[in-house]
Chain A
Amino acid sequence: MLIPWRYRKRENSFIQSFDPRAWLIFYICFLFSALAFWDMRFLLPFFAGALFVLFTSGVKWHEIRRAFLFIVGFVFFFAVLTFLTGRGGVEHYTEEHLIHRFQASFSILGWVPALDITVERIVYALSQFLRVGSMAIMTILIPYSLNPALYGITFKGLGLNDKFAYAMDLTMRFIPTFARDFQLTVDAQRARGYELEKFSGGLIEQVRKMGPIFVPVVIHAIIGSEDIIDAMDLRAFGIGPRTWIDVLERKRRDRILIRFGVALLVISLALGILGYGGFWVPEAFLQLAGG
């Protein structure tokens, strides 16, 4: 059986005060708008907006702690990685202002390992964190805030046909179901003396050793899908246009949100095309490198 995300109706939740279709349209506009910028001055309002939505969502910290720490950790890791390697930002800046160089006291075949701390790398890492962080926050809130019983009608309302709308509904619920089955399989194999923690050998050997986990999880997912198809077939799914008993109502505030989202996107894209919002290094930061 497919299990839903941990949704519940929350009091005074900003995100839940909107029609789910309106929120999804706004969310998509927000995502593409944030993608249009690398300038911290433009990205900061997006990050602040995402934090506002987070703090007014009514979602408790203990509910999202694990997912949130994972995603923030992931974003932070890549921002730091980009910073250390200096890769990723090279298409945005051609010149770097050195603050400090850490150089190894040894060489490998004539190459001396060194780490350059430059103004551009720091600013790029910060911009990347703001950009991806704001998108991640907005994304993480969706499963906790949108009523799973309304997934199907929401996607239908966004213009998908019946089959695709229901398929999207099932897909949204497949993710937490997959996570539950994964945990059950890990438990079942640990009860047979299998220790995930004690993996050794090369990469291929380690992947091979994951077989006892991956095979049951994948097979279970396939069998589960077949069961779902049988259950749908046995109740006449797909024979023609279907009725959706849930009804969504678009209110004034929903229309305002959609207009705001679309306007945000249009302005962001226009600014991008006009050359605004590109990578920007604050003057004060350049002082760190001695001007």
Chain B
Amino acid sequence: MPNLPLVVENLSFRYRDRQETAIRNISFEAKPGDVLLIAGASGCGKTTLIRCINGLIPRSYKGEMTGSVRVFGEDTSTWKLAQISQKIGTVLQDPERQILGTKVLNEVAFGLENLGLPREEILERVDEALRLLKIFHLRERETFTLSGGEKQKVALAGVLAMRPSILLLDEPLASLDPASALDALDTARFLADQGMTILMVEHRVEDVLRIQPERVMFMSGGEIRYLGSLSGLSKVVNYREVKLRAEEIVERAKQDPPPAEIRILPGAAGKGESEALVKFEDVAFGYESDVEVLHGINLEIRRGDVIAVLGPNGAGKTTFVKHAIGLLKPKKGRVLVNGRDTREASVAQIASTLGYVFQSPSHMLFAPTVREELSFGPKNLHHSKEQIEQEVKEALRIVNLSDKEQDPPLALSFGQQKRVSIAAILAMQSRILVMDEPTAGQDYQNYMNFMDSILQLPSFEAILFITHDVDLAVIYANRVLIVNDGRLIADGKPQDVLRDFDQLKANRLVPTSLLALNLERFPATGRFMRAEALAHI
């Protein structure tokens, strides 16, 4: 057998400070030109596997490792990290965590500079990588001004410039808008077609299926549960664990009983649904005095609204929702929460009415236990001890973390931390809930479960969430906003807004199989539904 780019044999690893092994007996091989998709729930060992292959384990992350990783027939255990990095390139989950250079040119050249190559050769290779990814125009840009999709490509260019034979992509789509995600996937396919071996860890399985990966690995509990062709995946995995194409889910769900009907926002029913809880009146805003990033936003969030805010990376979505809780004050116009101008109320006062879940959990977690973390908000709002006890328990149940009550939140995985951050706001029992990308970095089963639970909570009268996941809007929203370039482009019912594919495309959104199926069946259903429900219509 010729020396394959990558052969992994009986690989097991246990982190030094943990009792249980993170991965067990992993064996597989990858050929040149292969795209191998690695899927599985949060904490199943995907990232550990990637770290074993790229050498960060055991060099940076200590523990017990057995088995072998062979690159072109050579065992990498004796290689230095620098040697591995010339053969195996890694693009981390969040490109923000990988980019070191201030300018795109410096970023892409970083690895080559470290190898001590001549300056002319470095510049030549940098330009080659930038042209390959069609981002040569970004060469002189400062990295912090790039959009999410651009950052991803620049991080990839920095790795490609080192001309690796194997490319590891750790959740490359997690922070990208749908169109940027498609671009990233097309790039991966293109590189594989050039002969590169690509291992892609990704939760968004349905999206990756578009580029027809040669093989799929499904991991569970640190082991391989399935390794084989794409066609076999849907037969072995539960459609509730992995997001498959809507048609496949419909086929498989026909054999199961229909899903329980979700009663959305029961607390809002019968309370006068047209009342405006939050009102944006001609709101304009800019971080600097001469640059406006929000322009003339007019909007009402009414009782009973479940609003999905869609739009490309850097469109102003987060800036827009930060006005609702008063973290940002408009430069022109005004924002009213419960009839009160946010300029005249403190953020803490607004927080009792409107709960806001930040995008990144690491900016808020501080307490020694999950329980104390969740009590923090209600205590600030002067809830009683008994009330807090109940609120914390309920919030933990919703995000499926009841068994972690006494654990330190900072020791949990990213996905679990994100759920703690959501629970921390749920425990405050606000009337309006605002979530900024609640499902980013979460596995499918977990986020569908907590979204189901949150929407059925009696305490909320309106919910607004920012998302890149069009299906989340299809399944849960009764109103969709599209924000682009600081402007409100569309505002309406999902079936009206999401029907206009040209508008979606213009705003870097991509129709999904579930959206297409819902539109097709809309005359019969009269509303959008999840695929499991469509199976029984």
A241 partner, pick from B112, B116, B356, B364, beta carbons under 8 A:
B116
Bound Cα distance from A170 to B102, whole angstroms = 10
Residue of B nearest to A236 (CB): B82
Bound Cα distance from A215 to B424, whole angstroms = 16
Number of chain B interface residues as a range: 35 or more
Contact with B along A219-252 (1 / 0, CB 8 A): 1100110011111111111111111111100000
Nearest-Cβ distance from residue A162 to partner chain B, whole angstroms? 9
Contact with A along B347-380 (1 / 0, CB 8 A): 1100110011010101111100000000011001
Bound Cα distance from A224 to B363, whole angstroms = 12
Interface residues of A in 1-17 (CB under 8 A from B): 1-4
A184 partner, pick from B86, B346, B360, beta carbons under 8 A:
B360
Are A239 and B115 neighbours in the complex by a CB distance under 8 Å? yes
Residue of B nearest to A226 (CB): B60
Nearest-Cβ distance from residue A25 to partner chain B, whole angstroms? 22
Chain B hits for A243, CB < 8 A: 112-113, 116-119, 122
Are A230 and B92 neighbours in the complex by a CB distance under 8 Å? yes
Chain B hits for A236, CB < 8 A: 81-82, 85-86, 111, 114-115, 162
Nearest-Cβ distance from residue A42 to partner chain B, whole angstroms? 39
Q: Which of B85, B348, B381 has the most CB of A within 10 A?
A: B348
Chain A hits for B218, CB < 8 A: none
Are A234 and B56 also in contact (CB < 8 A) when A195-B380, A215-B366, A245-B109 are?
A: yes
Chain B hits for A192, CB < 8 A: 351, 364, 376-377, 380, 424-425, 428
Are A238 and B122 neighbours in the complex by a CB distance under 8 Å? no
A27: Cβ under 8 A from any B Cβ: no
A82: Cβ under 8 A from any B Cβ: no
Nearest-Cβ distance from residue B49 to partner chain A, whole angstroms? 16
Are A216 and B363 neighbours in the complex by a CB distance under 8 Å? yes
B494: Cβ under 8 A from any A Cβ: no
Q: Which of A62, A173, A246, A247 has the most CB of B within 10 A?
A: A246
Nearest-Cβ distance from residue B209 to partner chain A, whole angstroms? 28
Chain B hits for A212, CB < 8 A: 364, 366, 376
Bound Cα distance from A3 to B99, whole angstroms = 10
A187: Cβ under 8 A from any B Cβ: yes
Bound Cα distance from A84 to B103, whole angstroms = 49
Are B410 and A193 neighbours in the complex by a CB distance under 8 Å? no
Contact with B along A188-210 (1 / 0, CB 8 A): 11111111010000000000000
A159: Cβ under 8 A from any B Cβ: no
Residue of A nearest to B356 (CB): A191
Nearest-Cβ distance from residue B117 to partner chain A, whole angstroms? 6
B325: Cβ under 8 A from any A Cβ: yes
Nearest-Cβ distance from residue A54 to partner chain B, whole angstroms? 21
Are A232 and B106 neighbours in the complex by a CB distance under 8 Å? no
Secondary structure at the A interface, as helix, strand, loop or mixed, is helix
Bound Cα distance from A216 to B500, whole angstroms = 43
Bound Cα distance from A256 to B64, whole angstroms = 60
Are A245 and B410 neighbours in the complex by a CB distance under 8 Å? no
Are B143 and A1 neighbours in the complex by a CB distance under 8 Å? yes
Nearest-Cβ distance from residue B384 to partner chain A, whole angstroms? 15
Are A219 and B410 neighbours in the complex by a CB distance under 8 Å? yes
Contact with B along A138-152 (1 / 0, CB 8 A): 000000000011010
A181: Cβ under 8 A from any B Cβ: yes
Are A229 and B106 also in contact (CB < 8 A) when A1-B96, A1-B99, A240-B116 are?
A: no
Bound Cα distance from A234 to B327, whole angstroms = 38
B102 partner, pick from A149, A214, A235, A244, beta carbons under 8 A:
A149
Bound Cα distance from A231 to B144, whole angstroms = 17
A211: Cβ under 8 A from any B Cβ: yes
B81 partner, pick from A173, A215, A234, beta carbons under 8 A:
A234
Nearest-Cβ distance from residue B454 to partner chain A, whole angstroms? 17
Are B365 and A216 neighbours in the complex by a CB distance under 8 Å? yes
Bound Cα distance from A231 to B348, whole angstroms = 38
Chain A hits for B112, CB < 8 A: 243
B251: Cβ under 8 A from any A Cβ: no
Residue of A nearest to B379 (CB): A193
Bound Cα distance from A237 to B114, whole angstroms = 5
Residue of B nearest to A148 (CB): B102
B110: Cβ under 8 A from any A Cβ: yes
Chain A hits for B110, CB < 8 A: 235, 237
Interface residues of B in 415-445 (CB under 8 A from A): 424-425, 428
B275: Cβ under 8 A from any A Cβ: no
Chain A hits for B142, CB < 8 A: 4, 149
Bound Cα distance from A235 to B108, whole angstroms = 10
B381 partner, pick from A62, A193, A220, beta carbons under 8 A:
A193
Are A231 and B410 neighbours in the complex by a CB distance under 8 Å? no
Q: Which of A1, A190, A191, A238 has the most CB of B within 10 A?
A: A191
Bound Cα distance from A230 to B80, whole angstroms = 14
Bound Cα distance from A149 to B158, whole angstroms = 16
B85 partner, pick from A191, A223, A235, beta carbons under 8 A:
A235
Bound Cα distance from A149 to B116, whole angstroms = 19
Chain A hits for B114, CB < 8 A: 235-239, 242
B242: Cβ under 8 A from any A Cβ: no
Residue of A nearest to B104 (CB): A149
Chain A hits for B507, CB < 8 A: none
Bound Cα distance from A219 to B410, whole angstroms = 8
Residue of A nearest to B381 (CB): A193
Are B358 and A191 neighbours in the complex by a CB distance under 8 Å? yes
Bound Cα distance from A59 to B105, whole angstroms = 26
Ordered nearest first, which 6 A-B pairs have the shortest CB separation?
Answer: A193-B380, A235-B111, A215-B366, A236-B82, A188-B364, A1-B96
Which A residues fall within an 8 A CB radius of B? Answer: 1-4, 62, 148-149, 151, 170, 173, 181, 184-185, 187-195, 197, 211-212, 214-216, 219-220, 223-224, 227-247
A selection of 26 A-B contacts at a CB cut-off of 8 Å is A1-B96, A4-B102, A148-B102, A184-B363, A185-B363, A190-B351, A192-B425, A193-B351, A194-B380, A215-B366, A219-B362, A220-B363, A223-B362, A227-B97, A228-B100, A230-B56, A231-B99, A233-B81, A233-B85, A234-B56, A236-B86, A236-B162, A237-B114, A243-B122, A245-B119, A245-B122
Known: A190-B327, A239-B80, A242-B115; 20 extra A-B contacts, CB below 8 A, are: A1-B151, A4-B144, A187-B358, A191-B355, A191-B356, A192-B380, A193-B381, A212-B364, A216-B364, A216-B366, A219-B366, A227-B97, A233-B59, A233-B60, A235-B111, A235-B158, A236-B162, A238-B114, A239-B114, A242-B113
